[in-house]
Structure 1
Amino acid sequence: MIETMHGLPDGVLGFRAVGAVDAADYESVLDPAIDAAVEAGNKVNLVFVLGEEFERYSLGALWKDAELEGKPAHVWGRIALVTDHSVIAEIIHGISFLFPCELRIFGVDAVDDAVAWAAEGPRED
């Protein structure tokens, strides 16, 4: 599932993956939050945590993640991926040139740094 992180600075959306993540998690949690930020004219500065509680992505979730790339490039500010899963970090690092924004990978022990970095990103179009 995807849980919303609370208490973040204005202009930062934060989410935590817990257990298995599937397409319905994107549809019910992540997509509406991103769409609301875009409709409000805000850049999407995102913190996404894949910590110890994270188990796996379903194929449907991977597809929904790929669909996020279809959003116009101008809506993206910064993406902070927080994970100690080395394979995931290496894959994301390898394809980071495909992301239409700044992307940085942080270790789980640096969640606060990830949030601060995302908060420094652009706010409005």
Structure 2
Amino acid sequence: MLRVIQNLPDHVFGVRASGEVTADDLKNVLLPGLESLTDRYNEIYYLLLLETEVQNFTAGAWVQDLIAGLKHFTAWKKMAIVTDQTAVEKFTDAFSYISPGEAKGYEISELQEAIDWLSIKK
């Protein structure tokens, strides 16, 4: 399930992933949030708080995630993935080298640090 994270800076969109994440979650939560952000700011500052294993994302969810990423490819400015899954955190840090924006991985205990980093616009 994806839920919008409240009380973030206006230019930051964040979601909390828990349990199973489906294509419908991405269509109904993630995509509208990204659309709203790009409509208002023409750029994306994104926070994903990953409280579930990546294996809990269905195949349809991965397809929708790919569509969202490609649709807004040039709008990505900063992306913070907050998780206690070390492999995901390391992948996020490496992803920064191939994405148009910056990507950083954080541990769950560093959630506020991730929000602070996203708060500073490039």
* Higher relative contact order (Cα pairs below 8 Å, separated by 6+ residues): 1
- Contact 1:11–1:42 at 8 Å: present in 2 too? no
Name the CA distance, whole Å, in 2 between partners of 1:39 and 1:9: 16
Give ranges in structure 1 of 5+ residues lacking alignment.
Answer: none
1:78 aligns with 2:78: yes
Where do 4+ consecutive residues of structure 1 move more than 4 Å?
Answer: none
Aligned to 1:105: 105
Aligned to 1:87: 87
Cα RMSD between the aligned structures? 1.6
Deviation at 1:24, TM superposition (A): 0.5
Deviation at 1:66, TM superposition (A): 1.5
Aligned to 2:17: 17
Give the secondary structure class of the aligned counterpart of 1:40. helix
**What letter is aligned with 1:85?**
Q
- Contact 2:16–2:49 at 8 Å: present in 1 too? yes
- Contact 2:92–2:104 at 8 Å: present in 1 too? no
How many pairs align?
120
Deviation at 1:34, TM superposition (A): 0.4
Aligned to 1:2: 2
Once the two structures are overlaid, the 10-residue window that deviates more, 102-111 or 64-73, is 64-73
Deviation at 1:83, TM superposition (A): 0.6
- Contact 1:69–1:99 at 8 Å: present in 2 too? no
- Distance change >3 Å, CA 74–CA 94, structure 1 → 2: closer
Give ranges in structure 2 of 5+ residues lacking alignment.
Answer: none
* TM-score scaled by length of structure 2: 0.88
Name the CA distance, whole Å, in 2 between partners of 1:67 and 1:5: 22
**What letter is aligned with 2:65?**
D
Deviation at 1:64, TM superposition (A): 1.4
Deviation at 1:105, TM superposition (A): 0.6
Aligned to 1:32: 32
* TM-score scaled by length of structure 1: 0.86
Q: Which has the higher helix share?
A: 2
Q: Which has the higher strand share?
A: 1
Q: Deviations over 1:68-100 (max 9, x none)?
A: 221244311210110111232233344443322
